[in-house]
Amino acid sequence: MDTFVTISGCSGGGKSTLLNALRRRGYATVEEPGRRIVVEELARNGTALPWHDAVAFARRAIAMALADRARIAPGPRWVFFDRGLVDAASALEHLTGEPAVEQLGRAHRSNGCVFLTPPWCEIFVADAERRHGFAEAVAEYDRLTAAYASLGYDVCIVPKVAPEQRADFVLDTLRRRAAR
């Protein structure tokens, strides 16, 4: 879906803040599957958590990302996803060795440009839902960069600037690509 745009990258790199800036401009956004799963699992004392059962967590994130894509009708306007299917598939592949990125990533394409927020230690914060450290976030970023590139996506690195400037960058990049 060319109107489905993924915002991925480093955990704690400002993805959700960027999505909020895009939402304020009237664009549809889809919250990160991982955060939603953590909230649900913590509320019910579940175990599909990245620090308890990372494989179950990744499988749930894949299912949720697929459900997100299925429930949104493609239209003329961009829909921005905070992470998504390739992110979850990359996690599962890292944990189990299953070829999830290739299988799922090729079958469920998004816009050809994926936006990655780079590691940014000055804004990274661990919290009750993000219990890993900055080094783990950087390692995840490196895996995601490689996964998206392996699927033929143009990896567009979002500059380390204020959220509104980041939103301008994303929208300007998409407009330039659409005009080609």
What is 4-179's CATH number? Answer: 3.40.50.300
Q: Which residue has the tokens 């900055």?
A: 134
Is the pTM here over 0.75, yes or no? yes
Pick the most confident of 12-21, 74-83, 160-169. 160-169
| Mean confidence (pLDDT) of the chain | 89
pLDDT, position 103: 86
Instruction: Give the whole-angstrom CA distance, residue 78 versus residue 144.
Output: 22
Q: Could you tell me how far CA 103 lies from the centroid of its own chain?
A: 18
Helix (H, G, I), strand (E, B) or coil at 135: helix
pLDDT, position 129: 63
**DSSP letter string, 42-87:** HHTT-S-STTT-HHHHHHHHHHHHHHHHHHS---SS-EEEES-HHH
Domain edges within the chain: 4-179
- Element containing residue 46 per DSSP (H, E): none
pLDDT digits (tens, 9 = 90+) for 109-165: 999 999 999 877 675 666 656 556 677 878 889 999 999 999 999 999 999 999 999
